[in-house]
A and B are shown apart, each in its own frame.
Chain A
C-alpha cells in the first residue's frame, strides 16, 4: 500500500497523540495498524472467495477498520460486544481465532454456530462477542439488559451495542437508549455511521443534524467522532468506557465512516451512490490515513508497512487453507440446539 496524496491527513502532532493515547502510543498504533491491515486482507480475500462461489455470502467492513480495531483494543475482557453487521474484526482483535472465523464463513462442521447463521454472523462467547441476528436494531435493547446484569451482580464491565445508521430508525434504538438512560447503566451505544443503509443515505434516514445529537434528549452525552481516524475513535472510546466504568451512565458514540464496498456481496451500489462517492471514501480510507501519519511520524517505513501487509495476507491465506474443505454440519445437527438438551420440546 503506497501513501496516497489525496488522503485527508490525520490532524495530529506526535505530542497530540501521546497526550491522547499515552506514552506507549507508537506500539499501540503499530498494533492497531496491523489489525487494520488484517481486516483489509480478510475483506479482500473473502470477497474474492465469495465471487468464486467458495463462501456463500460476505459483508465487508472496508472503511470501518478504525472503529473495529480501536474497539477491540480499547475494551477489556470483562466488556461485552453486541455487534451490528460489520464488527467481526472486533471479535478477532479480542482474541477470537481467525481459523475458527474462517470455519464460520464456510458454514462448516467446525463453525461454533454450526452453520446455521449466514456468513459474517459469528458467535464468539469466549471473547464476549454475542451471537447476532440479521434483524436491525434488536441487539440494542439486549445490550442494555446485559448491562443491567453487570450492575445487578456488581461485576466490572461495560456493554457495547453496535449498530449502523439505519438502525437509529428502529424501535429498539429508541427503547434501548431510553431504558439505559432511565436505569443509568454501563452501556455504550456505538453507531457505525457509514452513511448508507443499503441504498438509503443519512439524509433520508434522519432529520437530525447528526445521529449523536439524538442522545441528549434521552438524557445522555452523544459524541460524533471521525470514524476513519483511529486516534479519535480510540480516545473517544477510552473516555466513554472510563466514565461508564465509574458508574456515570450510558453514552452514545457516532463514528462517521465511509462505506468503501457494497452493502454486501448481493448489492450493486452503482444504482444509488453518486459518482464522486468512491473518491470521497478513498480520501477517508482509515488504513491509508493511519499509514500516512505513521510514516510521517517515523513510526513506520514503507518496507515495514509492506511487510505487515504480506504477513496479514499470509495469515488470512493460511486460515482459509486450514478451514476450507471441512465438511458441512452433520444432518443430525439440524434438530439440535432448538431446545436445551435432554429436555427437548421437539414435537416430532
Chain B
C-alpha cells in the first residue's frame, strides 16, 4: 500500500505494466523527456528509454494511427492524448479503425490500444482544455470507456485496460489528479471492468456519478445526511461495459435517481442511464429521474464554476426527488 495522488497512481500503473511486459510502449506528445504535461509519465523515459516512451510529432491522428499499427503487430501501445479536447484529429482512427478492426476482420486483427487522456473542467482551461465528451466514444461499438475517480481505481483499472484485449478509452479526471489522495495497493491488483463501486450506502435516493463528479456528489450526500436524507452514491467506473445491475438494483431500493456528469446534458451519458432505469426500474420509481449536468453550451472559461455541477446543485436535485413522493 502507498498513499498516492490519482496522477501518481496512473504513473505507478504505467511503470508496473511496463516492467512486467516489454511489449508495453507509451507514445504521445511531451511524454518522454518532459514526463508529460501533467507528469503522468514522470521518470518512465529514464527507466525504459526512448524506444518505449516515445515522444511523437504533434499529430493526434499520427499517434493513434501508429498505435493501431503497433497493436496489429502485437505490441501493447498506450497512447496519451494530451487533452481530451485535442482527440478529434484522431477521431477517424478511433471510430473508423480502432473500434472496427476486430469486427471487420472476423477476429483476425484484434486491435488492443489503450488511449489515456485527461478530461474535464475545473482547472481554468477554457473551451479547449476542459471538455468531457465521453458520450461520443460510448456511442461507438467496439470501444470500452473507463473513468476512474480514485487513485486505487486509476491504477487498478489501468492495469485491467493494459491486459484487456479490446481498445480502451481511459479518461483521467484531471481536476482531481492531485486533489485526492488514497491508498493504492502494490503490485498487479486489477479492478475489473463492468463493476460499479458502491461509494456510500443509502436508502432514500441513488446518486450516480463518475470521474471528477464523484467528490462533489459525496459532498452532497454528506450534506443531505445532516438533513436526514440518506443518499446512496454509486460510481460505475466503466461506462462501457456498464454495470447495469448495480444501477437498477440501487434504484429498486431507493426509488429515486439523480445522475451527475459534467458533460453537456443533451445526448449525454445520463440520458442512457435514465433510459436504462425507465426500461428496467420503472415500477420502482417514486420520483422523476433527475440529471445534474453541464449546460448545452461550449465549455466557458470565466464561468466554469457556474457550468460545472457542484454539491449544492446535486443536493438540490436529490431533495426535489425525495420531496416528490
The interface of chain A, by Cβ under 8 A from chain B, is 80, 82, 111-114, 116-117, 121, 123, 125, 130-131, 133, 135, 138, 140-150, 152-153, 159, 171-172, 174-176, 178-179, 182, 336-340, 343-347
B165 lies within 8 A of A343 (CB): yes
Known A-B contacts A142-B68, A179-B59; A116 and B103 likewise in contact (beta carbons under 8 Å): yes
Q: Mark B234-274, 1 if CB is under 8 A from A, else 0.
A: 00000011101000000000000000000000000000000
B57 touches A133 (CB 8 A): no
Give the Cβ gap from B240 to chain A, nearest Cβ, in Å: 5
CA A114 – CA B100 in complex, angstroms? 13
Interface string of B70-82 (1 = CB under 8 A from A): 1111110100000
Whole-angstrom CA separation of A176 from B240 in the bound complex: 30
Q: Which of B25, B71, B72, B75 has the most CB of A within 10 A?
A: B72
**How many of B's residues come within 8 Å of A, CB to CB?**
47
- A-B residue pairs in contact (CB < 8 Å), sample of 30: A111-B106, A112-B106, A116-B103, A131-B101, A135-B92, A135-B96, A135-B97, A138-B93, A138-B96, A140-B65, A141-B62, A141-B66, A142-B97, A143-B69, A145-B65, A145-B68, A145-B70, A145-B72, A153-B74, A178-B62, A179-B56, A179-B57, A179-B66, A338-B142, A339-B102, A340-B102, A340-B110, A340-B166, A343-B166, A346-B241
Among A113, A116, A141, A159, residue most surrounded by chain B Cβ atoms (within 10 Å): A141
Contacts A125-B105, A138-B65, A178-B57 known; 5 new A-B pairs at CB < 8 A: A112-B106, A113-B106, A145-B69, A145-B72, A339-B165
> Of A125, A131, A159, A346, which is within 8 A of B69 by CB?
A159
Interchain CA distance A145-B107 in the complex, whole Å: 20
Q: A142-B65, A142-B66 are in contact. Are A123 and B73 (CB under 8 A)?
A: no
Contact between chains at B242 and A116 (CB < 8 Å): no
CB of A142 within 8 A of CB of B104, answer no
Binding site for A on B (CB under 8 A): 25, 51, 56-57, 59, 61-62, 65-75, 77, 89, 92-93, 96-97, 100-110, 141-142, 144, 164-166, 193-194, 240-242, 244
Bound together, the chains give a CA A121 to CA B106 distance in angstroms of 12
CA distance A145 to B97 in the complex (A): 14
Shortest CB–CB separation between residue B27 and chain A, in angstroms? Answer: 9
In the bound complex, CA of A143 to CA of B68 (Å): 9
B69 contacts A148, CB within 8 Å? yes
Q: Which residues of B contact A179 (CB under 8 A)?
A: 56-57, 59, 62, 66
Asked whether B105 lies within 8 Å of A138 as measured between CB atoms, the reply is no
Complex interface: chain A residues within 8 A of B103 (CB): 116, 337-338
How far is B30's CA from A311's CA once the two chains are assembled, in angstroms? Answer: 58
A347 to B280, CA, bound (A): 14
A347 touches B241 (CB 8 A): yes
A346 — nearest CB in chain B belongs to which residue? B241
- B residues less than 8 Å from A345 (CB atoms): 144, 166, 193-194, 240-241
